[in-house]
Amino acid sequence: MNRPSHAGHPHGAPAARPPRERFPFLFGAQYYRAPTPEPECWPTDFQAMRDLGFNQVKYFLQWRWSHRAPDRFHWDDLDRLMDLAGEHGLDVTLNILLDMSPLWLFERHPDARQMDNSGRVVEPYAVGHRTIGGHPGPCYSHPGVLVERQHFVATAIEHFRGHPALHMWDVWNEPELCFPQRQPNLVNLACYCRCCHAGFIDWLRRKYLELERLNSVWGRCYERWDQVEMPRGTGAITDFVDWREYHLDTLTAEAVWRLDAVRRLDPQHGRYLHVVPNTWFNPVTCVDDFAMAEPCEVFAATMNGGPSPCLHIVSAARGKTCYNVESHINFGSIDMHQRQVALPTLLGDFLPQLGMGIKGFLFWQYRPEVLGLEAPAWGLVRPDGSPRPVTEAAREFWATLAPHAARLREAFPDPATVGVWRSHKNEIYHFCAQGTVSHLGTGVDAYVNALYWDNLPCRIVSGEMLASSALDGLRLLVMPGCYYLTEPEAAALDAWVRAGGVVLCEAHLAGYNGTTGRHSRMLPGCGLAQAWGIAETDSTAVCHLRLSSGEGPASGALSEDVRKAIRDFGIGGGRFFPVVMADGALVWGAHRYAELAGEGLEPLGRFDGRAACMARKRVGAGHVLYCGTDLGLAAERDPAGVRELIRLAAAAAGVWPVADCSPEVPHTVHIDVLGAGGLPRFGVVISAADRDQAVQIQGHGTWRGLFTGAEWVLDGPTTVRVPGRSAEIFTVEPDRG
């Protein structure tokens, strides 16, 4: 049945509720993915969720389940669940899912199925996370099915917008083009249907304007636009980058209309979508988190603790409230039941996210799944509804944090002055070159982790942000694996450095010019070699390197530890190679090797006593620290190189650790200070050390630990004791004297 109003619900209208904050601190769980949990579970579950102190519950609103025929909708289950939430004082987020096609859809639109690169038509099917079938849904470029999706979304909004329990709309659960194919595989890459072909040509015409321009960049000889082919392989690079960018823009447009539908039809309730942080499958899933965050009121993600995913979400949000609306702390499967999560584990996952700016958590999910391969995992309780260790951990966590949640909601870390560049164009290029983006991901994560544990707050800078000079407040920009650059990015980078910025870049910067579609003849490319007076004079793959003498690098007296490391390298190459720094210390490079030259270049490191492969140079009012290797990738062997170059770059940029944090065991303690009104309000302290240690921090006022009861009285540089393997959040009472 299709009721436009909730006044006549058979269960009665929920009681009137007090006014709610539009975007409060959230704590709750995802609850319903039809057809489970079954109705007999609902009454006891809602009472238990209220007893846990939850303020939010989320339901899946699934296209196939709720749209049984073109003119017939099924809302009865969600109507009852909405009423139950209202009766128990829980606000509801309705999460719209359109990635499972209704049974009638392809009868009406038989040409709307996705098609993979092999020409196989993807028939709808059931998978572990979509057990009702219909996965992966139709092609996003099909105009007729777009109308059907818009009709369903509008009808759902109109039906539920008047319910007093409704709080927010999450319009897209983990946007992806062809989930679960997250691993790069050209054979089953989608979508290659006729609608995508036509849409791609229209997209190219808007980008290049003239066919001659396309021919020049792609190196082709098309005589008509309709001759343009869909790229089937990666060998020509630029056409494949365009092909995946077309899909990126298609999915962004999908996000825009969904969010706009809520804005138009139900402006009283919040609107967002939630992504899986862009963790190195961008060429497959075609999701630009930065673009998708733009039309959201708030931004959200599926994620767990750890700096990289959280940093990506907070950076993409650019000041908007951020939530973790699918905590996967209870991960598992039918073949790997959940671990036991006690309070210390929960704190170690949630508190780092709080420190980076996340303002609420929803568990995935309250009651474990009982259908398919995801059974009996993910639950906050056992399958029978009884508590697990994580249930009590969640209860204690929220009981302790809830009295401070309103103040915590308004407290934020200071803006970061360090940026880490990530370009989706560069990611697609790496997929073209290597068939994977895992190496690039390893490199970026190495820098993010090093910055995190050295207490140098950073944010992600997208390629579009760099090209538009959106670098306000940044003093240092780190550019890992920066092979593919466009001319606007290079020009903006040059101008920013000359104005006083410090850039730390890896080998072959702008080696591929994305504007011309050609490999640069001089490196760094896109004119940077000429602009900066820095040149890669020779380069090779690390696997080709050989030591020129049995004595190893000839750069002064070396310690026995350094000599041993060099001897271990041997005379032949491999994945890694040794670099001796100017002070005699040894670090490691990986994958790429380039020798550097240029007037005024200060050598920082050499291999085998030859030309510098790491160097720095003053350019205008700024500095360039150029690494002729992939230091981030080398951190798999030893992170010393990343840490040393970050230390040098941070000093040049005038960037210092938060609270001047200085632990006994370096790189093992992280501190976030969250402030409001110009004063510190909370401190989050994370320790990765195996033992208790003394830590010197700079500050004033009294810090009180919410979970341990620890009390620190700070008066300038102060030494405190931090337990090993711990996570704590402190309230901060500033010394106003």
Would you give the end-to-end CA distance of the chain in angstroms?
66
Give residue 28's Cα distance to chain centre.
22
306 or 135, which is more confident: 135
Q: Which of 289, 278, 277, 627 is nearest to 482 (CA)?
A: 627
pLDDT in tens, 679-696: 999 999 999 999 999 999
pLDDT in tens, 286-322: 999 999 999 999 999 999 988 999 999 999 999 999 9
Partnered with residue 726 across adjacent β-strands are 687
pLDDT in tens, 526-554: 999 999 999 999 999 999 998 754 444 44
Q: Which of 678, 6, 28, 75 is nearest to 398 (CA)?
A: 28
How far is Cα 526 from Cα 423, in angstroms, rounded to an integer?
A: 16
Q: Give the three-state DSSP class for 24.
A: coil
Report, as an integer, the average pLDDT of 252-261.
98
For the ranges 281-290, 467-476, 711-720, the lowest mean pLDDT is seen at: 281-290
Q: Which of 2, 11, 12, 14 is nearest to 164 (CA)?
A: 14
Q: What are phi and psi of 40, to 5 degrees?
A: -65, -15
How far is Cα 177 from Cα 191, in angstroms, rounded to an integer?
A: 8
pLDDT in tens, 23-60: 999 999 999 999 999 999 999 999 999 999 999 999 99
How far is Cα 729 from Cα 435, in angstroms, rounded to an integer?
A: 42
Count CB-CB contacts under 10 A for residue 316.
25
How far is Cα 86 from Cα 447, in angstroms, rounded to an integer?
A: 46
pTM: 0.95
**Position 523: which residue type?**
L
∠ at Cα 466 (635, 447), nearest 5°?
15
Give residue 571's Cα distance to chain centre.
40
Q: What pLDDT is recorded for position 564? A: 73
Q: 539-569 in b/e burial notation, b at 16+ Cβ within 10 A?
A: beebeebebeeeebbebeebeeebeebbeeb
Task: Report the interhelical angle of 438-453 vs 640-653 (nearest 10°).
Answer: 60
Structural domains of the chain, ranges and CATH numbers in brackets:
26-188+240-409 (3.20.20.80), 193-229 (no CATH), 418-653 (3.40.50.880), 659-733 (2.60.40.1180)
Q: What pLDDT is recorded for position 18? A: 58
Report, as an integer, the average pLDDT of 327-348.
95
Partnered with residue 169 across adjacent β-strands are 94, 271
Q: What are phi and psi of 699, to 5 degrees?
A: 175, 180
The token duo for 671 is 């501190």
Report, as an integer, the average pLDDT of 430-451.
95
